[in-house]
Amino acid sequence: MSDTPPADLFIDRLLDRIEATGAPVCIGLDPVVSRLPDWAKGADDAARVSAFCRGVIERTAGIAAAFKPQSACFERLGAAGLAALEEAVAFARDTGVPVVYDAKRGDIGSTAAHYAAAAVRLGADAITVNAYMGPSTARPYLAAGLGAFVLVRTSNDDSGAMQSRSLADGGVVADAMGRLVTDLAAMCVGVRGLSNVGAVVGLTKASEASHLRSIMPTSMFLVPGFGAQGGTADDLAPFLMDHGTPGRGVLINASRSIIYADDIEGASESMRDDVAEALS
């Protein structure tokens, strides 16, 4: 496989989609069987998950700039769950919405090439990557034509146990990961100046976002933590690029607060409006 990424980059398609929808809203598809509503009907758990994801996609496709299926929620159901994942990705793509495969892959380059091929076969446009084994864990995804969102500063409460540890040469582990992202980002810059290599930076870490933005000036930030994890549109300011970039360099993800809402359409519209106002 060539190390040269293709000319048709995910980041450019994503920016076009953000421009079309008016806000950088990402809807996470995190189906938990015990929480599925009555309208998600099927012969077994996997069939109900498939029906649920289809229903969420139908209700939010006009608003979502991207969908982000969480692989673990499907994998736990075995082969039938993986089939449900394939169905969800195919249906999302049919609506014209890009798909970020949230698998957080992180293995050596030769193994990563197999994971990359699997993600392409699935139909994903981009994938989340754990690059703590080094830059070679991310390069195969870029060579395969995928966008890659590298974990830098995550939204979970105990992420600081590793990501905030001080380095001997200054800064913290998250800073080192940010510099790795910037090195990779130079490999594949799109027509609007943003890279196909982005970073995961949690909305609950807003106090660190401005610093991380200075380290990664050309990377889209995939920002989880909106809604159920406590993040709001008011927290977005330090994450943003200057005016002129569609979505101002962020892709804001919400999962539980949208997909389990009594009114999914209303919840997604409210999120879109709040985010759009914060970006303006």
List active site positions: 104
Closest CA to 231 of 182, 275, 186, 187: 275
Are 5 and 143 in contact by the 8 Å Cβ rule? The answer is yes
SS3 (DSSP) at 252: strand
Are 148 and 120 in contact by the 8 Å Cβ rule? The answer is no
SS3 (DSSP) at 101: strand
Closest CA to 128 of 224, 268, 53: 224
Residues 179, 116, 252, 224: is their CA dihedral positive or negative?
Answer: negative
β-strand 100-105 against 126-129: which pairing, if any?
parallel
Take residue 175 and report the two structure tokens written for it. Answer: 């800073």
* Distance, CA of 222 to CA of 68 (rounded, Å): 10
* Distance, CA of 174 to CA of 165 (rounded, Å): 8
List of E strands, 88-167: 100-105, 126-129, 147-153
List of E strands, the chain: 25-29, 66-69, 100-105, 126-129, 147-153, 197-201, 221-223, 250-254
SS3 (DSSP) at 200: strand
